[in-house]
Chains A and B, each alone.
Chain A
């Protein structure tokens, strides 16, 4: 009994930290909370008794622990109902998580360093925005369509690139991102530098995503609509990720990552596998793009630069190659922390650059490297 109580207490402590981290404004308070989280993590890591205790509890009480976590995630916007901006940055973190989870299939599982996330994100956003404005299609149809449009681009981009070596492929993806940015900025039907505005909010029945959620007398800011949708999509992506990993597709990707020639000699169609990774990654990027467009209701090329690609690549490298939980964690880390330390916003890219250099040197597999597949 005591174990359960202690375990719940530790988990609750984390949740409290996260909540405080989100709502506190003063730099010192934020640093304090951040320090608290880091301290707790280090303590757990170092004190073996605590470490093994928590591990044991987590494997025994896995389901209630996760359930508790889910309750927290669902309740969070309610707790944050007076802090709409905080809900928004969580939504933003979720978007990056979606982008990174997809990219993980390429960088983490297959070792294809794809710098074109800015372009695939843009494809989903612009496709759905244009279709919404010119054809009046509903958001719910556009969500998968944005994904398919991006996947189509991924297929086209991936196919001829398959004979090219890793570093060439990366160059092609970088060049592609820059080309897309240039085109978006110059073509008239994409709105040029001003982009596309007045994208309508999605609706479920009578409830528009632009209006707050009224529940039990609480008024939860409208950003929560997008937050919940994103959480749902992330959960779906997690399931897809897990299924891919424990399938011959995921195994084929890992084979390719290690040795393409040996992979071919196992009967793996390497080209097909690689194109598949491109298409799947881009599909989810396209969905994220659609989500982004409909939440911001106005998109411009500035949101789809090479820097966006770099950010997502950083998240995968830092969070963990081929580890969905690590990537999620990396996404939260790389988006929430810069948000809270607004003063560093300007230095964001510089810090990311250093972070990549340091991580690759010290912990190239990321904070949460991939785990071994277990088949029980």
Chain B
């Protein structure tokens, strides 16, 4: 396995939660610039996989190599600083401050001022924040002009789809090398989903080097956006390859339809 252009590799990644193997011996790799889809029934370990990569959980077994370096045991904020950003399945925004503030916080790893600067050399801090605000508004405008106009609204007051977009902006704000999207179209209407998909495509076009792993339940999104797809079930990887291939894989079909056939039999 060539490790040079593989920006992320996991080997035999495993984690137990009190007897339940949430992620079970997963081997995974993604090349720089790829968009990889991650699908599977609910509870198959996809989000847990993300949590392992970002350091929120520590695996019981296995390796995680980001740009060739083992990241196991590093605290999440350190892993983020390596250039990984993510969104969350249920959305974890900073709800009581403005959308603009949320996106500016996304730039935290790229900002440089410290306590001393803040108290004694405030001009630097002011400039840094001003530039951050400008960049944040550009990011928001990328998705929609309305979002940019409403950037000072408290996030809790924004509609669901806008909140999802703000979360993606926040993740993009740090110019990450690896972007993890956890069900970005969750709760969106077909029109909104279509818009978001176009936006993801635009992101890819503007950032040739950005690598994306996207968890999704909406197969049409995966089909059109992903270069390759991994399929999880009960924490194990049961298939990987291009969408056209895995969508015909019997194991994959069973995994998704498994419960239904049981019902039919009883």
Contact = CB atoms under 8 A, between A and B. Distances in A.
A375 B56 CA distance: 33
A267 B97 contact: no
Classify the interface of chain B: helix, strand, loop or mixed.
Answer: helix
A262 B170 CA distance: 11
B138 interface: no
B119 A243 contact: yes
Classify the interface of chain A: helix, strand, loop or mixed.
Answer: helix
Interface string A263-280: 111111110000010000
B119 A240 contact: yes
A38 to B, nearest CB: 29
B115 interface: yes
Interface centre among B95, B115, B133 (most CB of A within 10 A): B115
B11 interface: no
Given A243-B125, A372-B154, A262 B88 contact: yes
A267 B174 contact: yes
Given A251-B105, A267-B108, A270-B77, A262 B92 contact: yes
A375 B93 contact: no
Contacts of B174: 266-267
Nearest to A264: B76
Interface residues of B, number: 41
Interface in A266-314: 266-270, 276
B100 interface: yes
A254 interface: yes
A252 B126 contact: no
A249 B77 contact: no
Nearest to A246: B129
A144 B92 CA distance: 40
B111 interface: yes
Contacts of A375: 100, 129-130, 133
B181 interface: no
A266 B171 CA distance: 8
Given A252-B108, A266-B108, A373-B101, 8 more contacts: A244-B119, A251-B97, A254-B96, A258-B93, A258-B97, A263-B105, A265-B77, A268-B105
